[in-house]
């Protein structure tokens, strides 16, 4: 009887050990990753894995089904919790409700609940979610621009449109946000402006602006392009006016731990999403990563 009891004890311990190793093995498959938090804080889309301070493309919705299934099991397991990043800092949690690798139009996406006492994600106010360790102890810094900041940025944006041989009588913008990427007390501004070239054509401008030693803002990065109704998948230019095809701020996050946060952006289309990441190099900003996630239906 004693031998049987001891044997049962060994079996129980072995079973626990196997389960523990299995849990560790499952946990180890979850690489450090950064997500976009979209749709009023209800949806996750993968942007990139973080690998030794570099960004690598994750599984895409256009990849083989077995890859998408494996990704969903690892990252969209119900109850999985990621940190919510807003203003470059942890401000809450994003908890996975579900993921559906066989969905026609939400493949490689997760449904989530977002909880924060600092902010509410809504419309074009979006954020990031991650399991990437962060050494930063800086608080969240993200706000609307002051009247003086907006006046200065409007002048810079108008000058950029004039360079494109446009007459920007009315400036429109999707968003203009003040952030502090290196905690130096000087606001960096990220914006998405547009003008109506004619009834069926729009001019779109994305930029990152920083304040120089002279106290004036300059664009460290800017990109302009135009789009007409014939090239809008829905056939309606109004979709562009509402934000489709614009490059929009998600948030900033110092994923490589160098003390300066990178700028993450999102481009909404009718067949998925595009993601860009910019890092500062001196007074300029350069693109550090470009990725996408395919899914149908807008």
Q: How far apart are the C-alpha atoms of 182 and 138, rounded to whole Å?
A: 9
Q: Are 94 and 126 in contact (CB under 8 A)?
A: no
Task: Report how far apart, in Å, the C-alpha atoms of 285 and of each of 17, 108, 135, 220, 292 are.
Answer: 50, 30, 23, 5, 20
Mean pLDDT of 253-279: 95
Secondary structure element (H or E) that encloses residue 238, with its range: helix 238-241
Task: Report the mean per-residue pLDDT for the chain.
Answer: 90
Mean pLDDT of 238-266: 96
Residue 131 CA, chain-centre distance (Å), reads 14
Note the pLDDT tens digit of each residue in 157-196. Answer: 999 999 999 999 899 999 999 999 999 999 999 999 999 9
Note the pLDDT tens digit of each residue in 273-287. Answer: 999 999 999 889 999
CB count within 10 Å of CB 216 equals 10
The whole-number pLDDT of residue 127 equals 98
Mean pLDDT of 223-242: 95
Residue 134 confidence class, pLDDT cut points 50, 70, 90: confident
Q: Which of 32, 87, 93, 113 is nearest to 249 (CA)?
A: 87
> How many Cα atoms within 13 Å fall on the side-chain side of residue 74?
21
Note the pLDDT tens digit of each residue in 56-83. Answer: 999 998 999 999 999 999 999 999 999 9
Mean pLDDT of 126-151: 94
Query: Which neighbouring-strand residues pair with 194?
Result: 172, 204
Kindly state the tokens that stand for 237. Answer: 């230019």
The whole-number pLDDT of residue 138 equals 84
Query: Which neighbouring-strand residues pair with 95?
Result: 81, 113
Q: Are 96 and 80 in contact (CB under 8 A)?
A: yes
pTM for the model stands at 0.89
Torsion sign (Cα): 255, 259, 261, 262: negative
Q: How far apart are the C-alpha atoms of 200 and 28, rounded to whole Å?
A: 51
Residue 203 has pLDDT above 90, yes or no: yes
Residue 238 has pLDDT above 90, yes or no: yes
Residue 290 has pLDDT above 90, yes or no: yes
Phi, psi of 133 (to 5 degrees): -60, 145
Kindly state the tokens that stand for 33. Answer: 């990753």
Mean pLDDT of 106-132: 95
Tell me how long the chain is: 298
147: left (phi over 0), alpha (psi -120 to 50) or beta: alpha
Radius of gyration of the chain (CA): 22
The whole-number pLDDT of residue 22 equals 37
The whole-number pLDDT of residue 271 equals 87
């Amino acid at each position: 009887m004693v031998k049987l009891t001891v044997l049962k004890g060994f079996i129980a311990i072995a079973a626990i050990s196997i389960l523990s190793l299995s849990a560790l093995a499952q946990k180890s498959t979850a690489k450090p990753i950064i997500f976009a938090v979209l749709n009023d804080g209800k949806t996750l889309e993968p942007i990139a894995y973080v690998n030794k301070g570099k960004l690598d493309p994750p599984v895409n919705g256009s990849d083989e089904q077995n890859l998408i299934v494996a990704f969903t099991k690892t990252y969209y397991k119900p109850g999985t919790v990621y940190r919510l990043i807003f203003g470059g800092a942890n401000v809450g949690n994003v908890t996975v409700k579900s993921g559906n690798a066989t969905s026609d139009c939400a493949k490689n996406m997760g449904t989530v609940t977002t909880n924060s006492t600092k902010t509410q994600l809504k419309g074009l106010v979006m954020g990031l979610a991650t399991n990437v360790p962060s050494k930063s102890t800086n608080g969240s810094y993200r706000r609307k621009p002051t009247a003086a900041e907006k006046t200065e940025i409007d002048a810079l944006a108008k000058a950029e449109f004039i360079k494109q041989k446009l007459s920007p009588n009315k400036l429109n913008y999707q968003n203009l946000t003040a952030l502090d990427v290196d905690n130096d007390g000087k606001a960096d501004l990220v914006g998405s402006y547009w003008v109506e070239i004619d009834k069926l054509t729009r001019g779109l401008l994305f930029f990152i602006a920083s304040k120089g030693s002279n106290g004036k803002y300059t664009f460290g990065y800017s990109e302009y392009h135009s789009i007409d109704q014939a090239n809008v998948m829905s056939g309606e230019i109004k979709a562009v006016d509402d934000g489709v095809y614009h490059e929009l701020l998600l948030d900033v996050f110092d994923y490589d731990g160098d003390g300066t946060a990178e700028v993450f952006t999102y481009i909404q289309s009718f067949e998925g999403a595009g993601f860009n990441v910019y890092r500062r190099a001196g007074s300029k900003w350069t693109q550090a990563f470009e990725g996408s996630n395919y899914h149908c239906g807008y």
